[in-house]
Chain A
Amino acid sequence: MKKLCETKILEVKVNYKVTTAIAGDYVAKSINERIDCRAIFWNSTEVWVQNTDWIKIAQLLKDSPDLDFNYLSAITAVDYVEYFEVIYHLISFQFNQSAILKLRIFDRENPSVSSVTSIWQGADLQEREIWDLMGIRFDNHYNLKRILLWEEFPGHPLRKDFLR
């Protein structure tokens, strides 16, 4: 087989350990030590952080050379009726490790959280989807419009009290 395309030396470092490491404890420790924000609660896989601190924490996670979470894999919102939980799945290509960050929003009438589109561009469509289906507003998102449903659609269908 002829060589079809040449591989150059990559600027994005990728590390292949056998499995992706999970960095819950380490992330929580870094947050507590390096900035004036605190992780509320954590275990080996997940870290719960304060809603208002999120943008600072996101910046830390991306910029610290020993964390280097350069890839935002997924954003999820779950409606637990008493509160909303927004879940961020992050991956660091360089260290092949993943982290799960969770925020809780107790305001049901007008829930909002800081947008991370300025840090990870990949949040753009996912945040719009969450606004559309779950009704959580992302502050400072440059184009927060409905994405799957039309603008006049009443309510946010993934909420548990939708049409009940």
Chain B
Amino acid sequence: MGIKSEPVTINVGPQHPSTHGVFRMRVTFDGERVLDVEPVFGYLHRGTEKLAEERNYTQIVTLTDRLDYTAAMSNNLAYVRAVEQLAGIQVPERAMYLRVIAAELQRIASHLIFVGFFLQELGAFGTPLMYSFRERERILDLFEMMCGARITLSYMRPGGVFQDTPEDYWPALNTFLTEIPHYLDEYENLVLDNEILLARTKNIGVLSHEIAVNSSISGPILRASGVKWDLRKANPYEVYDRVKFDIPTGSIGDNYDRFVVRIMEMRESIKIIEQCVQQIEKGEVRSKVPLIIRAPIGDAYSRIEAPKGELGFYLVSDGSIAPYRCKIRSPSFINLTILHDILVGGNLADLIVSFGSIDVNMGEVDR
């Protein structure tokens, strides 16, 4: 007589330490194996798109900080670029360099959070997180010098940035740039040859490039699947056409590739910042833009490569001081499309690891 088995449905989240916020999955298991997964979200929905319709163009910058709260600079950049495109605002050269430096620092900070939490989900409890937060702290200190804030930065404005950097910023940045490669070496030595890490990530959660492209995946996940698509190269904005950098790609798109691509991207970001520091010249950091911007009637869509993928803002203006419609194309939200593809067929133990490898941020998913 065989043993009778029945599928079991288990709730993961919304209050779960590994769900990066308030995310809930309804997972159906057959023993250890995942049969079906249904994401449930919206617990952090604040109606950002609706709120934006009631505020003027400059005020919305503060709303964008709260989308992906681990990458506020990138959100600012994507938004102000959309406004500039809509209203035809020019940006001074120095401001463009400051923006790129800030955005790349933010990319490192965001990927550091990923590295720490990903290893934590693999079971290396606490230690990697402390390591990665040690470096992230230094980036936050640099941000504090730039704009006085650490998380909700609001550094960028339509037409430039909020203020020029103080004198002691540049020595601090240089020290950081000389030290961070050693920290990254340290991570790589600690984890990349680790037997446990390889066993837990290699060939798990494989995402083929066909599914990745067809599911509108963007950012490091797309590149981990072997698609060399990066908006910084494909459609260079700000000063990305003046700096040299490579686009790291993975080969098969498993959890290991998604992890390694991000570590390699941090090194590329360091390269970009170093070149920007050499090229930047003195000058204005903000063009003459009225405080209350009245954009001409029309629409504009602007996309940038945020740490988690393609972040786009679609703005519609009716000629008033507030946008008629402000749509946010958030990478984390759309990256969740592949949740079913990478989790189903896997094991219970890999569920959280594979989910963590997408690197979603619930502030951005729920908006």
Contact = CB atoms under 8 A, between A and B. Distances in A.
Classify the interface of chain A: helix, strand, loop or mixed.
loop
A10 B228 contact: yes
Contact of B251 (A7, A16, A147): A7
A126 B217 CA distance: 12
Interface in A34-80: 70-74, 76, 78-79
Contacts of B324: 78
Interface residues of B, number: 52
B134 interface: no
Interface residues of A, number: 44
A16 B234 contact: yes
Interface stretch (B144-152, B158-166, B309-317, B351-359): B309-317
Interface string B242-259: 000000111100001100
B296 interface: no
Given A73-B216, A74-B312, A148 B241 contact: no
B341 to A, nearest CB: 9
Among B41, B210, B226, B336, the most chain A Cβ lie within 10 Å of the Cβ of B226
B301 A120 contact: no
Interface in A121-153: 121-126, 129, 133, 147-150
A8 B310 contact: no
Contacts of A126: 216, 334
A110 interface: no
Interface stretch (B25-33, B61-69, B167-175, B260-268): B260-268
A70 B213 contact: yes
Contacts of A120: 214-216
B50 interface: yes
Contact of B303 (A73, A121, A124, A147): A73
B88 interface: no
Nearest to A133: B49
Contacts of B233: 16
A79 B325 CA distance: 8
B42 A149 contact: yes
Contacts of B261: 5
Contact of A87 (B47, B210, B264, B314): B314
Contacts of A5: 248-251, 256-257, 260-261, 264
Interface string B205-249: 000011101111100000000111100011110000100000011
B251 A125 contact: no
A78 B334 contact: no
A73 B226 contact: no
Interface in B259-307: 260-261, 263-264, 267, 301, 303
Interface in B78-134: none
Interface string A103-129: 000000000000000001111111001
A27 interface: no
Nearest to B325: A78
B312 A73 contact: yes
A147 B316 CA distance: 24
A71 B212 CA distance: 10
Nearest to B310: A73
B55 interface: no
Contacts of A96: 234-235
Contacts of A17: 234
Contacts of B210: 11
A93 B366 contact: no
Contacts of B45: 148-149
12 contacts: A1-B267, A5-B257, A5-B261, A10-B228, A10-B249, A11-B210, A74-B327, A89-B301, A120-B215, A121-B214, A148-B42, A157-B47
Nearest 4 CB-CB pairs, A to B? A122-B216, A148-B42, A74-B329, A20-B235
Given A74-B329, A76-B329, A150-B42, 8 more contacts: A10-B209, A72-B216, A73-B303, A76-B314, A76-B325, A78-B327, A89-B314, A122-B214
Interface of B: 41-42, 45, 47, 49-50, 188, 192, 209-211, 213-217, 226-229, 233-236, 241, 248-251, 256-257, 260-261, 263-264, 267, 301, 303, 310, 312, 314, 316, 324-325, 327, 329, 333-334, 336-337, 366-367
